[in-house]
Amino acid sequence: MLLRHTTADIKERKALTVNPAKTCQPIGAMYAALGIHGCLPHSHGSQGCYAYHRSTLTRHYKEPVMAATSAFTEGASVFGGQANLLQAIDNIFTVYEPEVIAVHTTCLSETIGDDIPQIVNKAKADGRIPEGKYVFHANTPSYVGSHVTGFASMTKAMVDYFAESGPRSRTINLIPGFVEPADMTEIRRLATEMGISAILFPDTARVLNGPLTGKYRMFPEGGVTIDQLRQSGASVGSIALGALASAPAGLAMDAKCKVPCAVLNLPIGLHDTDLFVDTLRRMAGVNVPETIDLERGQLVDAISDWHPYLYGKRVGLVGDPDQLLALSRFLTALDMRPVYLVTGSPAGKKFEEQLRETLADAGDDLRIAVPGDMFLFHQWIKERSVDLLMGNTYLKYIARDEDIPFVRCGFPILDRMGHSYFPTVGYRGALRLLEKMLDAVLDRKERDSSDIEFELVL
Amino acid sequence: MTSIPLLREREKQIHDKAGGAPFEMACDRHSLAGSVSQRACVFCGSRVVLYPIADALHLVHGPIGCAAYTWDIRGALSSGPQLHRMSFSTDLGEREVIFGGEKRLYKALTELIAAYRPKAAFVYSTCIVGIIGDDVAAVCRRVEKEQAIPVLPVHSEGFKGTKKDGYKAACDALFGLVGTGDTTDIAPVSINILGEFNIGGEAWLIRRYYEQMGVQVVSVLTGDGRVDDVRRAHGATLNVVQCSGAMTFLAEQMQARFGIPYIRASYFGLEDTAKALYDVAAHFSDHPDVRARTETLVREAVAAVMPELRRIRAVLEGKCAAVYVGGAFKVFSLIKALRLIGMRVVLAGSQTGNADDYAHMRALCDPDTVILDDANPLELSRFVVEKGADLFIGGVKERPIAYKLGLGFCDHNHERKTPLAGFEGMRNFAREVHLSVTSPVWEIVKQSSFKC
């Protein structure tokens, strides 16, 4: 029992997080920045921050993850990090030659009060930024928000720095949220399938799920270009997927360039994908092609085929707010019962209300913690167990100790493959989620069956 | 000398022996701002050293990230308690950054100690704590008095130096425990094993060797560690220190205060493992039976693995390896271990080596070996290709780079899952290298394009 120390007896904790269900802002900013073509994320702080972020992202994606650091010393912490950042900008453009440097701050540089725009302006004035290259930034102190808000801030910074108004194009901006490269590809595919030209940002596809070619490229093929970001200000509309991760960028686009923005749930599951497709259709003024109808129909067919096996299953979920909301809607549509939900991200009262509304009929023991941690979640399970767990790899301790089937989803996944290549968004993504949940539930049913109950056809 | 752009400041951290330049390595310096170094910070160093102490409470005082990223990521195995695998954080917010985090720390510590009754508590300071000026030591002293267990501050603010300074901070904290335990049942022929963290169960292997030699192991610092063992470590008569110095600081402190001498050891490769055991036997030369048992052990253990190593050598003969790991000491051992299985090291480097280390490395290497200090991925990938390596040995961040280039890879850092130390470890190492270098996937890589 790895978590033998967890007791069912819940005490209020005010000063302590045990087994967190979040991490800090900078890693989200780094991930978002990797979704720009030719971009080197830069961590303005000490050397450990970016080493940890790179290691975590590397473990999750099994891909090289590039970033640079200001490598703060005691001196920088006393006198400010301006000299470090200036030197860094110099060195990076000399040696690594990225198109753009995306600076994010850390607890250290925020607390000593470094003014990044001022430093970047100085770098520009000093001629340290080569012609046609860019440096932009987001403030991501680690003691505020979570990895999701860090992602949101860096995505918003792309709008703040680059989007330009212009004569309206027919393009639609898609802001996919803190999802996997495969999800970004799927979101784009749905739009393409409908004949819509889209600018998707950030876009980590082919950056963090690139091919093996025998060559190492520090800046892989994928990513939204600065030109595209510039043009995004002239798009006919934006769809921001996920209120926490994407709305700030979408709304900033509206404010800055008067591009109207629809904020939707992540398109996970039937209804939220419907909503996404419908919004796309109306915004672009197109019809939904038969191919998408077919995908939808197949999903509905699979749900009807398999609904008796999932009906009434109690589910515990740990994850990021946008994912939790969409997943809850999907599970509810499958007649499952999401009863325990924890996110580490401080996503606010409104989010919690939305979640409670979605889950009003989920069960008599609905429990939600925003923010909470995995220790609390485990305590709930000790009081009354669930039939299925869904969340990142760290949930595996609870799954093992309490012997509960477990579907990995979210960030980070450190011990399985698939998330880089197979989406969980869209109708196809919903099929995959359905398959994974059924595999977990049915494998368990068969494991627990006696010889007599063990049947060929389920 | 090379086709990649180099920063002028970095030129002296790269030595390409084929270039014939005189050897003068600039090392032991802080990474340049803007570098894509593979290094980490002070906190990381402290966490690595103390984390394996399984019955202690490890509380990270800072924003959530530092605790989240170090939550159970090192396979430092424990045969008993698993408390070290939980993640405890004061999860500092804006409020504490403005008003200070001491109250929060006090509350967190008190709650945790009440809940878990650990044998001791380590409190890690992170960057922010150093800036907002929390008096962590004072809070620790107060809680120690109230709770009657050792509560040790670890001064591991990330920006206050390099990973090495983190080792030192950890050793300082450990030294607060050493000398406080009962040493009555400790034999004269006894040692502490320092700098061994029981990744993949390596400490268990090494401990078994010493026990077979008739040497009592008082404590392993810190693999499969227990607070009580640390407290009585001063009862041993010799410290055997592994690695480039993660724990040399502690050995030096123990020598100064308790008069315990120390020797260095490495357990990677047959040659170095045997040398380590013989060196310890030599220290106890007035116990000739120890020497005799060591000879038997080494003879039998080497005989047990040699046939397989020979078979593997026949396949790997002439292949080339690149070695880039944290500590220089490990590089020395790996060069020898690779030679034993027929492989040549064409690139060698470390994150934290000092001038002496690099001089020694140069002496060990072939004439055309490139030597790098604190390298970045561009340098690593270019030299690996230029030198025609077939294998890369490194850590988590290097693995996908090696694979992208179509090279075999062996993790010699905290993601190794089988013991690579000791005689059996050498066999495991050879198997892993063999498996990876000869994998059919690298042939597929060469023909992956449809254009040919």
Q: How far is B415 from B199, CA to CA, in rounded Å? A: 8
Report the pLDDT value the prediction gives residue B384, as an integer from 0 to 100. Answer: 93
Which of A103, A129, A144 is a domain's end point? A144
Name, in order, each residue with C-beta under 8 angstroms of A144's C-beta and a sequence gap of 6 or more.
A25, B93, B94
Q: Please compute the mean of the pLDDT values over residues A29-44 and round it to a whole number.
A: 98
If pLDDT is split at 50, 70 and 90, which confidence band does A446 have? Answer: very high
Q: How far is A419 from A458, CA to CA, in rounded Å? A: 28
Q: How close B365 comes to chain A (CA, Å)? A: 26
DSSP state of B55: T
Least confident stretch, A265-274, B207-216, B298-307, B326-335 = B326-335
Q: Please compute the mean of the pLDDT values over residues A303-310 and round it to a whole number.
A: 96
Is residue A431 a part of any domain in this protein? yes
Average pLDDT of every residue of chain B: 92
Q: Is A451 exposed, middle or buried (0-12, 13-18, 19+ CB in 10 A)?
A: exposed
Average pLDDT of every residue of chain A: 96
Report the pLDDT value the prediction gives residue B369, as an integer from 0 to 100. Answer: 93
| Whether the predicted pLDDT of B449 surpasses 50 | yes
Q: Of A2, A3, A11, A49, which to mutate for an interface test with B (greatest number of B Cβ within 10 Å)?
A: A49
| Whether the predicted pLDDT of B18 surpasses 70 | no
Q: How close A358 comes to chain B (CA, Å)? A: 29
| Whether the predicted pLDDT of B22 surpasses 70 | no
| Whether the predicted pLDDT of A366 surpasses 90 | yes
Helix or strand or coil: residue B235? helix
Q: How far is B121 from B365, CA to CA, in rounded Å? A: 44
What chain B residue is nearest to A91 in terms of C-alpha separation? B34
Q: What's the predicted TM-score (pTM) here?
A: 0.96
Q: How far is A32 from A178, CA to CA, in rounded Å? A: 8
Binary contact (A17, B67; C-beta < 8 A): yes
Binary contact (B82, A67; C-beta < 8 A): no
B42-173 and B190-300 in the same fold: yes
Closest CA to B445 of B315, B436, B379, B411: B436
Binary contact (B446, A214; C-beta < 8 A): yes
Binary contact (B91, A70; C-beta < 8 A): no
Instruction: Let me know how long chain B is.
Output: 452
Least confident stretch, A43-47, B355-359, B414-418 = B414-418
What chain B residue is nearest to A372 in terms of C-alpha separation? B91
Q: Do A240 and A370 fall within a single domain? A: no
Pick from A75-89, B302-316, B397-411 the range whose average pLDDT is largest: B302-316
Q: How far is A146 from B242, CA to CA, in rounded Å? A: 39
Helix or strand or coil: residue B21? coil
Q: Do A179 and A236 fall within a single domain? A: yes
Q: How close B407 comes to chain A (CA, Å)? A: 9
Question: Using alpha carbons only, what angle is made at residue B346 by residues B343 and B352, rounded to the nearest 5 degrees?
Answer: 110
SS3 sequence, chain A? CCCCCCCCCCCCCCCCEECECCCCHHHHHHHHHCCECCEEEEEECCHHHHHHHHHHHHHHHCCCCCCEECCCCHHHHHHCCHHHHHHHHHHHHHHCCCCEEEEEECHHHHHHCCCHHHHHHHHHHCCCCCCCCEEEEECCCCCCCCHHHHHHHHHHHHHHHHCCCCCCCCCEEEECCCCCHHHHHHHHHHHHHCCCCEEECCCCCCCCCCCCCCCCCCCCCCCECHHHHHHHHHCCEEEEECCCCCHHHHHHHHHHHCCCEEEECCCECHHHHHHHHHHHHHHHCCCCCHHHHHHHHHHHHHHHHHHHHHCCCEEEEECCHHHHHHHHHHHHHCCCEEEEEECCCCCCHHHHHHHHHHCCCCCCCCEEECCCEHHHHHHHHHHCCCCEEEECHHHHHHHHHHCCCEEECCCCCCCCCCCCCCCCCHHHHHHHHHHHHHHHHHHHHHHHCCCCCCCCCC
- In this structure, which topology does domain B317-416 adopt according to CATH? Rossmann fold (3.40.50)
Beta strand pairing call for B56-61 and B88-89: parallel
Q: Do A270 and A313 fall within a single domain? A: no
Binary contact (A146, B71; C-beta < 8 A): no
Is residue A63 within 8 Å of B400, Cβ to Cβ? yes
Q: Do A209 and A138 fall within a single domain? A: no
Is residue A3 a part of any domain in this protein? no
- pLDDT > 90 fraction of chain A, expressed in percent and rounded: 93
Name the residue facing A52 among B31, B69, B128 (closest C-beta). B69
Q: How far is A266 from A148, CA to CA, in rounded Å? A: 14
Q: Do A103 and A184 fall within a single domain? A: no
Report the pLDDT value the prediction gives residue B413, as an integer from 0 to 100. Answer: 85
Q: Please compute the mean of the pLDDT values over residues B80-102 and round it to a whole number.
A: 95
Reported as a single tens digit per residue, the pLDDT across B31-61 is 888 888 878 899 999 999 999 999 999 999 9
| Whether the predicted pLDDT of A374 surpasses 90 | yes
Q: How close B83 comes to chain A (CA, Å)? A: 8
Residue B174 carries which side chain, given as an amino acid letter?
A: L
Report the pLDDT value the prediction gives residue A74, as an integer from 0 to 100. Answer: 87
Tokens of B55: 């019955």
CATH superfamily placement of domain B190-300: Nitrogenase molybdenum iron protein domain (3.40.50.1980)
Q: Please compute the mean of the pLDDT values over residues A394-421 and round it to a whole number.
A: 97
Report the pLDDT value the prediction gives residue A9, as an integer from 0 to 100. Answer: 82
Reported as a single tens digit per residue, the pLDDT across B241-279 is 997 678 999 999 999 999 999 999 999 999 999 999 999
Higher pLDDT among residues A34 and B10, named by residue? A34
Q: Is A282 exposed, middle or buried (0-12, 13-18, 19+ CB in 10 A)?
A: exposed
Q: Do A123 and A219 fall within a single domain? A: no
Reported as a single tens digit per residue, the pLDDT across A18-36 is 999 999 999 999 999 999 9
Q: Of B91, B132, B156, B163, which to mutate for an interface test with A (greatest number of A Cβ within 10 Å)?
A: B91
Name the residue facing B85 among A2, A7, A11 (closest C-beta). A2
Is residue A262 a part of any domain in this protein? yes
Q: Please compute the mean of the pLDDT values over residues A119-140 and round it to a whole number.
A: 97
| Whether the predicted pLDDT of A101 surpasses 60 | yes
Reported as a single tens digit per residue, the pLDDT across A176-216 is 999 999 999 999 999 999 999 999 999 999 999 999 988 89
Reported as a single tens digit per residue, the pLDDT across B218-251 is 999 999 999 999 999 999 999 999 976 789 999 9
Name, in order, each residue with C-beta under 8 angstroms of A360's C-beta and a sequence gap of 6 or more.
none
| Residue found under tokens 């998330």 | A419
Q: Of B125, B159, B392, B442, which to mutate for an interface test with A (greatest number of A Cβ within 10 Å)?
A: B159
Q: Do A395 and A428 fall within a single domain? A: yes
Q: How close A20 comes to chain B (CA, Å)? A: 7
| Whether the predicted pLDDT of B16 surpasses 60 | yes
ipTM, two decimals: 0.95
What are the phi and psi torsion angles at B219 (to 5°)? -155, 150
Helix or strand or coil: residue B300? helix
Interaxial angle between packed helices A270-284 and A290-310, expressed in degrees from 0 to 180 and rounded to the nearest 10 = 160
What are the phi and psi torsion angles at A96 (to 5°)? -95, -20
What chain B residue is nearest to A26 in terms of C-alpha separation? B65
If pLDDT is split at 50, 70 and 90, which confidence band does B452 have? Answer: very low
Name, in order, each residue with C-beta under 8 angstroms of A435's C-beta and a sequence gap of 6 or more.
none
Is residue A338 within 8 Å of A315, Cβ to Cβ? yes
| Whether the predicted pLDDT of B2 surpasses 70 | no
Q: How far is A268 from A186, CA to CA, in rounded Å? A: 11
Chain B contact set for A398 (CB, 8 A): none
For A155, B34, B136, B300, the CA distances from A29, given in Å and listed in that order, are 8, 17, 30, 55
What chain A residue is nearest to B79 in terms of C-alpha separation? A2
Q: How close B347 comes to chain A (CA, Å)? A: 17
Tokens of B387: 């030198």
DSSP bridge pairs for A315: A338, A388
Q: Select from 3.40.640.10, 3.40.50.1980, 3.30.420.40, 1.10.3720.10 the CATH code of B42-173.
A: 3.40.50.1980
Q: Do A202 and A314 fall within a single domain? A: no
CATH number for the domain harbouring residue A196: 3.40.50.1980
Q: Do A179 and A273 fall within a single domain? A: yes
Is residue B168 within 8 Å of B244, Cβ to Cβ? no
Tokens of A167: 């004569």
Binary contact (A56, B69; C-beta < 8 A): yes
Report the pLDDT value the prediction gives residue A1, as an integer from 0 to 100. Answer: 67
Is residue A111 within 8 Å of A45, Cβ to Cβ? no
Report the pLDDT value the prediction gives residue B159, as an integer from 0 to 100. Answer: 92
Report the pLDDT value the prediction gives residue B6, as an integer from 0 to 100. Answer: 64
Q: Please compute the mean of the pLDDT values over residues A148-176 and round it to a whole number.
A: 98
Binary contact (A64, B397; C-beta < 8 A): yes
What chain A residue is nearest to B414 in terms of C-alpha separation? A55
Q: Please compute the mean of the pLDDT values over residues B149-157 and round it to a whole number.
A: 97
Count how many domains chain A has.
3
For A53, A240, A268, A343, B76, the CA distances from A347, given in Å and listed in that order, are 22, 17, 19, 8, 35
Domain that holds residue A372: 305-448
Element (H, E) at B219: strand B216-222
**Domain residue spans in chain B?**
42-173, 190-300, 317-416
